[in-house]
Amino acid sequence: MTAQFRVRPVHSTEADHLLHLSDAYMHSLYPAESNHLVSPDELRQKAIIFLGGFCDQTCVGCVALMAGHKPGHAEVKRLFIKQDARDHGFARKLMEQLESAAVQQHISCLQLETGIHQPASHALYVSMGYQQIPPFGAYQADPLSMFFEKQLS
């Protein structure tokens, strides 16, 4: 993939195909009770920030930020990169833009839930300064889930 990667807010249904691919991927890894997916409609209605990563005019990645359970907190949701666009640093670029946008929104803490069968995601989060934490908000302990947090400056 040699096209230039651009990050910008997602408009309308531009990322729905990615969310459906993400759903299928997550369902292949985890049982329904361990999937904490947010629907495309809910993202459009409730996301504080919803970013897409584009190569040419094609959305190949996305990530969203939802209101957190405490003031100043927000939850990272639906980070996903299309299979043929992986291994180019696009997830990191999306996360960097998301963090920057969060700071502009006066959000001081990002939290997220991810599954244990996604080591590339864990490595990305740790390399970006996220630390593993206990379940937060409405989440319950789940042997298939991991929870991370990052304090923003």
State the alpha helices, DSSP H only, in 55-141: 90-104, 119-127
Task: Share the mean pLDDT of the chain.
Answer: 95
| Cβ-defined contacts of 135-139 (< 8 Å, 24+) | 136/69, 136/111, 137/68, 137/69, 137/75, 137/111, 138/69, 139/36, 139/113
What contacts 9, CB < 8 A, 6 or more positions away?
Answer: 49, 50, 51, 52
Question: What's the rounded mean pLDDT across residues 55-82?
Answer: 95
Q: Tens digits of per-residue pLDDT, 18-36?
A: 999 999 999 999 999 999 9
Q: Where does 5-151 sit in CATH, by number?
A: 3.40.630.30
The reply to whether the predicted model has a pTM over 0.75 is yes
With contact defined as beta carbons under 8 Å apart, do 145 and 135 qualify?
Answer: yes
